[in-house]
Amino acid sequence: MTPSHATEDLAYLDATEALRLFTARELSPVELMRAVIERAEKVEPAVNAFTERLFEQALEQAAEAENRYLGKGGLTPRPLEGLPIAAKEKHAIAGRSLTEGSLVNEGNIATENAPVIDRVLAAGGIIHARTATPEFSITPFTHSRMWGVTRNPWNRDFSPAGSSGGSAASLAAGTSSLATGSDIGGSTRLPAAVTGTVGFKAPYGRVPGAGILANDHYRGDGSMARTVGDAALLQNVLAGPDPRDHTSIAPKYVLPTGYDSVSGMRIALCIRLGEYTIHPEIEANTRATAQALADAGALVEEIELPWTHQDLLTSQAGHFSTLFAAMVAEVTEGRRELLNDYTVAFLDLMAGVRAHVSYLDSLYAEQRLQRGLAEAIAGFDALLCPSTAVPGWHAGDILGREKLVVDGQPVCDTLWAAMTIPFNINNRCPVLNVPSGHSSWGIPTGLQIVGHPYDDATVFRIGTALEHLRPWSYIPARRPAL
């Protein structure tokens, strides 16, 4: 094996395996960090996942982690000790920039860490880089006037989706071991789906948030990784109450480290989630994944959901126009010339919506959608469905370039490409995206595993089984060609 290949293999090492090797003193955190940095320096110009590189201090922290594993100074290793972790830029780090990809916020410096950053650092994780998002994490693709276009490592003509696109692209490119994400409409699951990685939308309150959006019940921070076990590792660090977030749940919930097989489980399969139109390759990959579970002894039954586009539109319109869009409009007032086209389009659309759809309207629609799901999956352990209706988004796409007309009103086509937001509406449900295959577009496809409210362990149980039944590990034959 040539040195360059050895470095690449090390950069793609599973986080859980890295911790085992650290503990056995067969690998140094410094060696792993150097491999990840070397990989980043090689591929970052093509991918553009990072907004800030903290490589020098990361190497210093890796040396400190090495001393812990060697027993020096009386300090013991912590749960993430020495792992290179990429942090989504919107997750504030005290003393560093906090722009959310907007020129409006240029020069803004964070005064305290976001809760998830505190958790990562307290567990010994090393934040070696920060990752790109669209402006204000507002779209399902990742590019901005501030940071340029972030590209999917599998096919650079495509986006790694959004808004946690930089985190997903970094994982797929082998430039981080774990990454943080957030999800208000699919922002962990969509990027994971199109990059062949794992993204977890925790149920509302499981992971503490920051600021007023912590009270947005669509929202949730979560873990991103290349394997299910690695996602669980990070999730167990991120979960638990924080006094800065009144909605965060106590006591801390800890995922198991081992799971039974899926034999005997009852699993529902829904392809269209009501009225979505699904690309044939997405459907084929979803059905193949479900069949693998059936072959392993699970009872998989196809169901239909009574959901309508109208209810999905109404719930999103009233919710986002009242909360998220109103907040962005307040922050950016009088400075529209600095905004990205897609941000302006979103704000204008939501301003028009506010005159026609109330927050109460959205709550009525949410209740219908939530009850419809609960009744449809009663008696099942979990639900399987696609993460996206189409294989992906082209790099540089503009929100609102093409419109879909519903009830005489123009609606962004993007709404019907992402199949994730129904489970932000059903916000207490844990949802794990895992790979379901590849498409002819040259990028991976994803599957959502949806659990009953707060039943996190079940989605990880099914995800763990699929990882063994249909392996997607980033071995040399299954890596992006960069």
DSSP code of residue 12: T
Average pLDDT over residues 7-27: 97
Q: What's the pLDDT band for 37 if we cut at 50, 70, 90?
A: very high
Flag whether pLDDT at 367 surpasses 90. yes
Examine the pLDDT at 1 and tell me if it is beyond 50.
no
pLDDT, tens digit, for every residue of 112-127? 999 999 999 999 999 9
Question: Mean pLDDT over all residues of the chain?
Answer: 94
Rounded to an integer, the average pLDDT of 377-390 is 97
Name the strand (E) or helix (H) holding 444. Answer: strand 444-451
Under the banding of pLDDT at 50, 70 and 90, the label for residue 473 is: confident
Beta bridge partners, 85, equal 127, 178
Residue 17 has pLDDT above 60, yes or no: yes
The dihedrals phi and psi of 404, each to the nearest 5 degrees, come to: -110, 130
Question: Which range (149-153, 290-294, 356-360, 395-399) has the least confidence?
Answer: 395-399
| Beta-strand pair 431-438/444-451 | antiparallel
- What superfamily would CATH give domain 3-478? Amidase signature (AS) domain (3.90.1300.10)
Residue-level pLDDT at 404: 36
So what's the pLDDT on residue 150? 98
Residue 8's contacts (CB-CB under 8 Å, 6 or more residues apart) are 35, 39, 174, 476, 479
Q: What is the reported pLDDT for 408?
A: 47
φ and ψ at residue 224, rounded to 5 degrees: -130, 140
Give residue 397's pLDDT band: very low, low, confident or very high (50, 70, 90). Answer: confident
Whether the pLDDT of residue 333 is over 80: the answer is yes
* For residues 411-429, average pLDDT: 84
Q: What is the pLDDT of residue 477?
A: 87
Give the tokens for residue 62: 């890796």
Q: What does the pLDDT average to over 130-140?
A: 96
pLDDT of residue 406: 33
Please indicate whether residue 187 is annotated as part of the active site.
yes
What was the pLDDT predicted at 403? Answer: 46
User: pTM for this structure?
Assistant: 0.96
Specify the pairing of strand 148-149 against strand 126-131: unpaired
Enclosing H/E stretch for 437: strand 431-438
86-91-92-97 Cα dihedral, nearest 10 degrees: 70
Cα 157 to Cα 149, 355, 395, 396: the distances in Å are 10, 38, 6, 9
* CA distance readout (Å), 164 to 72, 197, 335, 405, 426: 37, 12, 25, 28, 20
For residue 361, name the pLDDT band (cuts at 50, 70, 90). very high
Q: What is the DSSP string of 69-90?
A: HTTGGG----TTTT-EEEEETT
Clarify whether 88 is annotated catalytic: yes
pLDDT one-digit tens code per residue, 301-328: 999 999 999 999 999 999 999 999 999 9
Query: What angle in degrees, to the nearest 10, is found between the helix axes of 228-238 and 15-23?
Result: 80
> What's the confidence (pLDDT) of residue 423?
98
Polymer length of the chain: 482
Q: Does 412 have pLDDT greater than 50?
A: no
Catalytic-role residue among 144, 159, 163, 170: 163
Whether 387 is a known active-site residue: answer: no
Which tokens go with 314? 């109404």
Q: How would residue 398 be classed by pLDDT, with cut points 50, 70 and 90? A: low
- Active-site position among 28, 176, 187, 362: 187
